């Protein structure tokens, strides 16, 4: 039976989901398998699988999506990007998703490989991809939202204008980029509503365990880290256990506030690790 994420969201039940990325080495494949097994015990509402820049991990991404959905029976959302692709390829890939029973897609432009990269005339933005997929009634379409605005936007108003255009092409729900101050999320949701965007907005959660790694990610996507949290992490940089607990406790508090104040669910960026996500998930108050 095909289950669409928007139907889960519209049911009023909170959704709890996990994101994985395709491993690049054999040891990473084993690690992913162990971590997926741990997270499956939590009965996620759905899982998602990322898609490498320019389709660099397409084969393994598609294989994982197929395996999770059709072998493990997990409701699976496939990430898909249009950067560097043409219409024929996109139509063919959409046909394949339908063929293997994938109904849920996270549609993105994708990161530019370099500043000199020339975008396709037909697919410059995620909205162009959404428009093509939206013409097919088969798919439930998710897209990205940026509580602190997309780095390439001129300003927050411009970012929201572009988001509204993307949503109007056929987006059913949004998943936000990571953020660490809930005020950004709640302000973003309010601004979306005030600008005619009335679809569910799932907050994306990134547990801060490896502070240097998360700090790098934050700089790449424009997500700010609260000064007090950064200072704590720096203070205990030589104490892995303490750093881990600080990160987990922070995420638990963040998740509890989001759920208690009306977020439709939580989407965890697991980085293919299970321990922190399990510890957080089992400690939050699910309402």
Residues assigned a catalytic role: 19
Q: From CA 23, how far away is CA 38, in angstroms rounded? A: 17
> Cβ-count burial of 30 within 10 angstroms (0-12 exposed, 13-18 middle, 19+ buried)?
exposed
- Return d(Cα 67, Cα 73) in angstroms, integer: 8
Phi-psi region of 66 (alpha: psi -120 to 50; beta: other; left: phi over 0): alpha
Rounded distance, CA 48 to CA 104, Å? 9
What tokens does 177 get?
Answer: 């980029």
- What are φ and ψ of residue 107, in 5° steps? -100, 125
Distances (CA, A) of 83 to 55, 145, 148: 8, 18, 23
Task: Report whether 244 contacts 209 (CB < 8 A).
Answer: yes
Contacts of 267 (CB under 8 A, 6+ apart): 15, 17, 18, 19, 48, 175, 202, 203, 204, 205
Nearest in space to 153 (alpha carbons), one of 166, 167, 163, 165: 163
- Quick one: three-class SS letters along 145-160? ECCCCCCCCCCHHHHH
Helix 156-168 to helix 182-194 angle (10° resolution) is 60
């Amino acid at each position: 039976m095909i289950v669409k994420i928007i139907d889960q969201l519209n049911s009023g039940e909170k959704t709890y989901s996990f994101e994985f990325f395709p491993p690049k080495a054999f040891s990473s494949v084993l690690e992913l398998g162990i971590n997926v097994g741990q997270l499956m015990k939590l009965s996620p509402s759905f899982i998602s699988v990322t898609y490498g820049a320019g389709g660099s991990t397409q084969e393994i991404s598609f294989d994982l999506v197929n395996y999770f959905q059709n072998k493990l029976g997990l409701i699976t959302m496939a990430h898909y990007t249009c950067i560097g692709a043409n219409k024929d390829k996109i139509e063919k890939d959409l046909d394949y998703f339908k063929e293997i029973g994938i109904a849920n897609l996270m549609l993105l432009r994708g990161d530019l490989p370099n500043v000199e990269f020339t975008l396709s005339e037909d697919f410059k933005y995620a909205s162009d991809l959404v428009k093509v997929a939206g013409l097919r009634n088969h798919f439930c379409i998710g897209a990205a939202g940026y509580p602190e605005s997309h780095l390439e936007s001129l300003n927050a108003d411009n970012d929201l204008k572009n988001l509204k255009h993307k949503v109007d092409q056929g987006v059913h729900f949004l998943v936000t980029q990571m953020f660490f101050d809930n005020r950004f999320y709640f302000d973003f949701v309010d601004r979306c509503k005030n600008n005619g965007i009335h679809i569910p907005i799932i907050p994306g959660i990134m547990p801060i365990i490896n502070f240097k790694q998360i700090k790098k990610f934050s700089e790449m996507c424009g997500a700010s880290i609260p000064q007090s949290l950064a200072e704590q992490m720096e203070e205990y940089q030589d104490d892995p256990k303490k750093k881990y607990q600080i990160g987990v406790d922070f995420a638990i508090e963040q998740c509890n506030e989001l759920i208690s104040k009306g977020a439709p669910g939580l989407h965890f960026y697991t980085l293919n690790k299970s321990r922190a996500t399990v510890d957080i998930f089992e400690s939050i108050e699910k309402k």
